Structure 1
Amino acid sequence: MTDPQATPSTESTHVDLNGDPLAQAHAELAELKAKSAELADQYLRAQADVQNARRRADEEISKARKFAIEAFAESLLPVADSLEAGLAIKDATPAQIREGAEATLRQLAAALERNKVIAIAPAPGTKFDPHQHQAISMVPAEQEANTVVSVLQKGYTIADRVLRPALVTVAAPK
Structure 2
Amino acid sequence: MAEEQNKAQAEEQVELQQESEQAENVAEGVVEGVVEGDAGDSAEPDLAAQLEAARQEAADAKEQALRAAAEAQNVRRRAEKDAENARKYALEKFAADVLVVADNLDRALAAADTENEELKPLIEGVELTRKAFVDALARHKVEQIDPAGQPFDPEFHEAMAMVPNPDVEPNTVIDVMQKGYTLNGRLLRAAMVVVAKAAE
- TM-score, normalization: structure 1? 0.55
C-alpha displacement at 1:136, in angstroms?
1.7
Q: Alignment identity in percent? A: 27
Change (3 A) 1:41 1:63: same
Q: How much does 1:25 deviate?
A: 0.4
Deviation at 1:172, TM superposition (A): 4.0
- Choose the corresponding residue for 1:137, options 147, 151, 161: 161
Relative distance call for 1:159 and 1:37 in structure 2 (3 A) is same
2:55 equivalent among 31, 35, 54? 35
Instruction: Give 1:28 shift.
Output: 0.8
Q: Which of these residues, 118, 124, 129, is aligned with residue 101 of structure 1?
A: 129
The verdict on how the C-alpha distance between 1:161 and 1:140 changes in structure 2, with shifts beyond 3 A counting, is same
Aligned equivalent of 1:148: 173
Does the 8 Å CA contact 2:89/2:184 hold for their aligned counterparts? no
Amino acid at match of 1:150: D
Unaligned stretches of 5+ residues in structure 1: 1-7, 77-92
- Structure 1, residues 71-106: CA drift from partner, whole Å, max 9, x if none? x59xx9xxxxxxxxxxxxxxxx84784475145225
Following TM superposition, the consecutive aligned residue runs of length 4 or more in structure 1 with deviations greater than 6 angstroms are none
Where does the alignment leave 5 or more consecutive residues of structure 2 unmatched? Answer: 1-32, 96-120
Kindly indicate whether residue 35 of structure 2 is the aligned counterpart of residue 10 of structure 1: yes
Q: Give the number of equivalent residue pairs.
A: 139
The one-letter code matched in structure 2 to 1:33 is A
TM-score, with length taken from structure 2 = 0.49
More helix by share: 2
Alignment of 1:171 onto 2:182: no
Q: How does 1:49-128 map to 2 (within 5 A)?
A: 49-50=69-70, 52-53=72-73, 56-57=76-77, 59-60=79-80, 63-64=83-84, 66-69=86-89, 94=122, 97-98=125-126, 101-102=129-130, 104-112=132-140, 115=141, 117-124=142-149, 126-128=150-152
CA distance in 1, matches of 2:154, 2:78: 36
Look up the SS of the partner of 1:108 in the other structure: helix
> How far apart in 1 are the matches of 2:164 and 2:128?
39
1:143–1:171: 8 Å Cα contact kept in structure 2? no
One-letter amino acid of the counterpart of residue 131, structure 1: E
| RMSD across aligned positions (CA) | 3.8
Distance change >3 Å, CA 133–CA 55, structure 1 → 2 = closer
